[in-house]
Amino acid sequence: MRKITVVTGTRAEYGLLYWIIKGVHNDPALALQLIVTGMHLSPEFGLTLETIEKDGFPIADKVEMLLSSDTETAIATSMGLGIIGFAKAYERLKPEIIVVLGDRFEIFSAVSAAVPFRIPVAHIHGGESTEGAIDEQFRHSITKMSHMHFPSTKKYAERIGQMGEISENIFCYGAPGLDNIHKLKLLNKEQLAHDLNLPARKQWALVTYHPETLEKDKAKIHIEAILESIKKFTDIYWIFTSPNADTEGRIIKKTIEDHVRHNSMNSKLFDSLGQLKYLSLLKNSIVMVGNSSSGIIEAPSFRLPVINTGNRQNGRIKAGNVIDVLNFEKAEIVTVIQKAISKEFKDSLNKIENPYGDGNTSDKIVEVLKAYSLSDILRKKFRDL
């Protein structure tokens, strides 16, 4: 049995990896080794370790690395703790392939620790660009330390090739998170209202905002601009999800908590929803505001209008449902929300296609993990253009 070690550190990332984890777990030729780290182990972020356990996946190891602070020093220290923890896990588990997704500092630590162990790394969602976040640097570094690449679009596959990776190790199958849309039975509005205690008769809007980690001391200013803007739309019920464990993320969360406390009749905050409820909210909302990658990757499948604020997602391929607002000007955000919820704009989205695939990705990735030869994969060749 080939030992496949999957690393997950956030609730959103776990949702994107779910069908890959399940596919590995159910394949008799593969042995799943699931390493849980980061936000999954923190009660502050919903302790989503419990969700993984309820899904029935055996957890091979837990790597504690998050500190109770989100300063620059705390994040850098967490990365160091992560490398130490992953080194101990790899020494014990002896993986044959490590599977990671994305661009966060937890994943950078996991991959960095794998290098001296000479373990092949399979990286999902490489080649992308998020110009407003330090994740940009982590992502491309992870690509260069990886051996198998699973980009979500042809353009991203070309970028990986541009970084010198050979085409035989690049497999472009789309975004695995879209599999959830096609494989899960999403909840209707009435079911969701009952489960989350939301007003079924009001229109819903979703706000998911994370720090722009290349900007210092701007998080509070940015989220306050969004909150002041949405106050204009009193007939809409605003549903917030908590930010990630990034620098200044706690400032954003506290500001949202204060807003919800004073606007409890038309807003609510959730620390963690899980993929089923989160995707069901995308399906049943009239607009999404913020800077989450889910507005770029998953929302087009629902033809949901998305107001993408700031620079965090700059550089990503976007469908016609996304309206960019680079400056946090209250008047501009209000105007763009009005446009997004208009009948004219919604009608214009009837024929858009999701550039990130058709929701048939995870099974293909599992087949590559199962069958690909590892005999000489560690000797990376640089492909010159």
User: Which of 45-54, 73-82, 85-94, 236-245 has the least mean pLDDT?
Assistant: 45-54
Q: What is the pLDDT of residue 46?
A: 65
The closest alpha carbon to 211, from 289, 120, 311, 124, belongs to 311
pTM: 0.89
Question: Is residue 353 domain-resident?
Answer: no
Query: Which of helix, strand or coil describes residue 135?
Result: helix
Distance set, CA 135 to CA 103, 298, 336 (Å): 5, 19, 27
Instruction: Tell me what percent of the residues of the chain surpass a pLDDT of 70.
Output: 99
Same domain, 29 and 151: yes
pLDDT at 211: 87
Q: Are 173 and 211 members of one domain? A: no
So what's the pLDDT on residue 39?
84
pLDDT at 335: 96
106/234 same-domain check: no
Distance CA(120)–CA(112), nearest Å, equals 12
The mean pLDDT value for 276-299 works out to: 96
Residue 379 lies inside a defined structural domain of this protein:
no
Domain of 164, in residue numbers? 2-177+361-371
Average pLDDT for the chain? 94
213: pLDDT strictly greater than 80: no
Give residue-wise pLDDT tens across range 259-270: 999 999 999 999
Residue 196 falls within a domain, yes or no?
yes
Does residue 65 have a pLDDT over 90? yes
Which residue reads 């946090």 in tokens? 328
Domain total of the chain = 2
Residue 281 identity: L
Please indicate, yes or no, if residue 274 is contained in any of the structural domains. yes
pLDDT band at 48; cut points 50, 70, 90 = confident
Rounded mean pLDDT, 20-36 = 98
If you average pLDDT over residues 202-223, what whole number do you get?
90
pLDDT over 90 percentage in the chain: 83
Whether residue 8 lies inside any domain: the answer is yes
280 and 208, same structural domain? yes
